[in-house]
Structure 1
Amino acid sequence: MSRLTTLLLFCALLLGAYAATSGWEYVDCGDPSYPVQLDSIEISPDPPLPGHDLTVTVKALVTDVIEEGATADVTVKLGRIKLLQKKFDVCQEARNANATVSCPVEPGPYEIVQTVALPKEIPKAKFMVLVRGLTVDEKDLVCLDIKIDFMKSISALFTSPF
């Protein structure tokens, strides 16, 4: 899988992800010329629950070779307040996560599945994660906006499907 897809997974793992009916949703804000084309992001449990394991599955198509040096600018917001703004080395993050895909990433379809433990201290709040990936040549690689509503996630703890 691409470095950027791995980073997207990394971001989703940081806070979950967001689908309107379940507490999370994502928007692929890239265009067809970007080397990483997201097909889907799925999470389990849905919605994500603080203090529980979260499994994220990302499916994407890589159209150009992604080389060492690709980066992702990640901003995490709580309302208008920036909690984190950091540039990540996508290949290094993939190595740190023991991802099944490593750099350079060749063109083709990829699926990556990763499980992480979410901290139980995640506040009952709505978060926005903005990911802007760049190739080693500083060209657009991927664009992803993730909304996470942990207020909905907390209420899911008290909702029984039975």
Structure 2
Amino acid sequence: MRFSASAIALIVAGASALSIRSDGQSLVRRDEFDVPGQSPLKFCEADRANDIITIDEVVLTPNPPQAGANLTIEASGTVKQTIEEGAYVKLVVKYGFIKLLDQTVDLCEQIKNVDLECPIEKGKISITKDIELPKEIPPGKYIVNADVYSADDEHITCLTATVMFGRKLFSDL
């Protein structure tokens, strides 16, 4: 499913609420849940000491993502122990209050979308990936939650993001 792959790519490469004022300026409130960098990503929990991945930074360009635009994801972090086949992601995608997707997906299958493959070796890692977002994304609020586990059910990380896609204006067509 292409939507699933795009959602997983955002999370794997990985929401203070990010809003855009009418004058184009962003309002960003930073807290302990915010993923460092420039993205709508947030950590699900404040205590991440036992997570297998430490995320140093995620930068999305453009931020926030825009329907019909290419999205560039730049992410860096540290893998504390090798991630083997069998790792999985509990993925939930909502459109407002409507649950579009609620499934468990194979991390090693999905991670190919960001040009990685399992095993993911221990050490520093960085990812740069361009994703073409369809222009047909319906306007509205999307909430993505990805809770990631190893094959042995050890917690890798948990990320969430809230992204607002706006309506296209006639001047944008």
Q: Please, what TM-score do these two structures have when normalized by structure 1?
A: 0.77
Aligned counterparts of 2:163 and 2:107: Cα–Cα separation in 1: 22
Gap regions ≥5 residues in structure 1 = 1-5
Aligned counterparts of 2:7 and 2:50: Cα–Cα separation in 1: 18
Instruction: Summarize deviations over 1:6-45 as a string: whole Å, max 9, x none.
Output: 99761459xxx88615576111225111101112211112
Q: Which runs of 4+ in 1 moved over 6 A?
A: none
Matched pairs, number: 146
Corresponding residue number in structure 1 for 2:62 = 45
Gap regions ≥5 residues in structure 2 = 21-25, 27-38
Aligned counterparts of 1:7 and 1:52: Cα–Cα separation in 2: 13
Corresponding residue number in structure 1 for 2:147 = 132
Aligned counterparts of 1:102 and 1:12: Cα–Cα separation in 2: 16
Kept in 1, the 8 Å contact 2:71–2:131? The answer is yes
Aligned counterparts of 1:132 and 1:71: Cα–Cα separation in 2: 8
Cα RMSD (Å) of the superposition?
2.8
Summarize the alignment of residues 1-162 of structure 1 with structure 2, pairs less than 5 Å apart. Answer: 10-12=9-11, 20-21=18-19, 25-30=40-45, 31-95=48-112, 97=113, 99=115, 101-151=116-166
Q: Please, what TM-score do these two structures have when normalized by structure 2?
A: 0.73
Shifted more, 25-34 versus 112-121: the winner is 25-34
Instruction: Summarize deviations over 1:56-76 as a string: whole Å, max 9, x none.
Output: 112121111111110001100
- 1:149 is displaced (CA, Å) by 1.0
Instruction: Summarize deviations over 1:104-137 as a string: whole Å, max 9, x none.
Output: 1121111101111101111110111000001001
Q: Which has the higher contact order (CA 8 A, sep 6+)?
A: 1
Kept in 1, the 8 Å contact 2:40–2:64? The answer is no
